[in-house]
Amino acid sequence: MSASLKLILAASGALAAYLAWRSLGWPLIHDAPLMHYIAWVIGQGGVPYRDVFDMNLPGVYLIHGAVIGLLGGGDLAWRLFDLGWLAATGALLWVYARPLGAGPAWAGALLFALYHLSGGAWRVGQRDFLLCLFLIAGAYGVARSIERGGALGPLVWGGLALGIGMTVKPHAGVFWLGAAALAGWGAWRGNRSPLAAPGTVLAAGLVAPALVFGWLGWRGGFGPFVAVFTGYVVPLYSHVGRVPLWQAFGDYRFGWALWGLLAILALLGLSTPAPGVEARKAVAGLGAVSGALHYALQGKGWEYQLYPLAVFLCALAPFALRRLSVAAWERHGHPSMPLRFPVLRRAAALVLFAATAMVLGAKGVDALEQPWIADKARRVAALTRDLAPRVPPGATVQVMDVTEGGVHALWSLGLRQPTRFIYDFHFFHDTGDARIVALREEFVADLAGHVPAAIVVLRDTWNRPGYERLADWPEVLRLLARSYGLGVEGNGYRIYVKRADS
């Protein structure tokens, strides 16, 4: 390693360690408590999708259930799990880039560590972050197969990893299909059957989904899953809240600078000769394309949906930092390429790497104590405190919220709901559609048939914020007026308590 690269790596490593240490106090917040709650309901005998209406795949619930069962449901347990998952992903990135040299391999791993730590508490354990481990494992398996002339062994565990990923986010299927095609190309180059390799990836990739959905069917949740996804998620939810694709880059701190630097560094890596490891560069390039599609297909503009793109850009960065002799450059380079001389190319890569690490460091320091995270944590604590004495043992509580703390309070208190709806945004879009009308009718009927001790309405919910959204739902307003009284007017929430005479 050159002295300059050693210095940048040392500074980046120290920054990553500092951010990780400071992040140990981050609370369980935002999306994670929702998945904890669903996993807890399943552990209590609930059936996914029948007893909890959600848009995620069952692999997410199994991961959260495993964390709760092994480490507990506290803030620190979730934080340690997240850091352990980050370390495992970083280790795979290091192994992936190791043939390029120890220095470049460390650079890719540290870039991803800084990227994750710079996101703040709300990105801890996000589904797209969890997916990255399986994507890199799958990429490594395909690359190793190509390097070994189309060997099938690495394709088995690579395909298995991608299959697990598809039980977390179905969009991983894009990379799974592309990886299968690339494996077939590698086998053809190695004078092996071009059908056995893609067939192995595809078959291995179906193992985990078969097991997970077999478990779901055994629990009685497969039919409800099909109904939720075909009757709501695909035709309706996929179109809700869509924003221009570039919004995430401008709405978040240092967005354009960060993604501009990462993209340039990755493109420099793609344009750099990689004798002996061209297969790894090709697979990582395919991963970057699939990561961009992963973000674009979801269309919500949420920052965490960029994780698969980020992890493959970080996998490409080491190629730009690799030291090449002038002779190797002339043998494997292309005269028409910009920065054709290896010294200039590597100097540019070092500057880009240092600049990216600095931007991530600044973003990370800014994210350590985000005011809205602290506000949300205080709201959860206040709501939990206000709700506890108003709910008799064995009673239920219905929340009307998304991520503002309503379900988090139920998780903290161990309270079930009388309906399967943990969000309320379903009820306030496409209100003329028969499927939304049916969901509304189900909600009101369940409230009437299994009367909760309290109904909690959060003000700042996603897509339709404000208490006034209930004005569009006269059936719920009548139910509140007939059977409930306003017990607490909190900061961003209202607790309606069941009247004794109702």
CB 294 within 8 A of CB 310: no
Q: Model confidence at 1, in pLDDT bands (50, 70, 90)?
A: low
Mean pLDDT across the chain, nearest whole number? 93
**Residues 206-220, mean pLDDT to the nearest whole number:** 97
**Residues 428-443, mean pLDDT to the nearest whole number:** 96
Q: Model confidence at 322, in pLDDT bands (50, 70, 90)?
A: confident
**Residues 454-467, mean pLDDT to the nearest whole number:** 93
DSSP letters along 446-463, please? HHHHS--SEEEEESS-SS
Does the pLDDT of residue 479 top 90, yes or no? yes
Q: Can you tell me whether residue 432 is helix, strand or coil?
A: coil
Nearest to 397 by CA among 451, 444, 319, 352: 451
Token pair in block for residue 106: 């460390």
CB 176 within 8 A of CB 163: yes
Residue with structure tokens 């935002």?
30
Q: Model confidence at 327, in pLDDT bands (50, 70, 90)?
A: low
Here the contacts of 107-110 (C-beta below 8 Å, separation 24 or greater) are: 107/5, 107/8, 107/9, 107/12, 107/317, 107/318, 107/321, 107/353, 108/314, 108/315, 108/317, 108/318, 109/314, 110/9, 110/12, 110/13, 110/16, 110/357
In this prediction, residue 330 carries a pLDDT of 53
Q: Model confidence at 339, in pLDDT bands (50, 70, 90)?
A: very low
Q: In the structure, how many helices (H) and strands (E) does the chain have?
A: 21, 4
Q: Model confidence at 325, in pLDDT bands (50, 70, 90)?
A: low
Tallying the residues shown for the chain, one arrives at 502
Does the pLDDT of residue 500 top 90, yes or no? no
338 CB burial (10 A radius; 0-12, 13-18, 19+) = exposed
Does the pLDDT of residue 343 top 90, yes or no? no
DSSP state of 53: B
**C-beta atoms surrounding 308 within 10 Å:** 28
Q: Model confidence at 193, in pLDDT bands (50, 70, 90)?
A: confident
Token pair in block for residue 140: 């490594």
What is the largest distance, in Å, between two alpha-carbon atoms of the chain? 89
DSSP letters along 194-249, please? TTHHHHHHHHHHTHHHHHHHHHHHHHT-HHHHHHHIIIIITTTGGGTT---TTHHH
Please provide residue 244's backbone torsions phi and psi, each rounded to the nearest 5 degrees.
-55, 145
Digit-coded pLDDT (tens) for 132-180: 999 999 999 999 999 998 899 999 999 999 999 999 999 999 999 999 9
Does the pLDDT of residue 245 top 50, yes or no? yes
**Residues 237-264, mean pLDDT to the nearest whole number:** 90
CB 398 within 8 A of CB 476: no
Q: Model confidence at 364, in pLDDT bands (50, 70, 90)?
A: very high
Does the pLDDT of residue 405 top 60, yes or no? yes
Does the pLDDT of residue 337 top 70, yes or no? no
**Residues 45-55, mean pLDDT to the nearest whole number:** 97
Here the contacts of 370-373 (C-beta below 8 Å, separation 24 or greater) are: 370/120, 370/121, 370/122, 373/26, 373/27, 373/29, 373/30, 373/120, 373/121, 373/122
Does the pLDDT of residue 280 top 70, yes or no? yes
In this prediction, residue 333 carries a pLDDT of 58
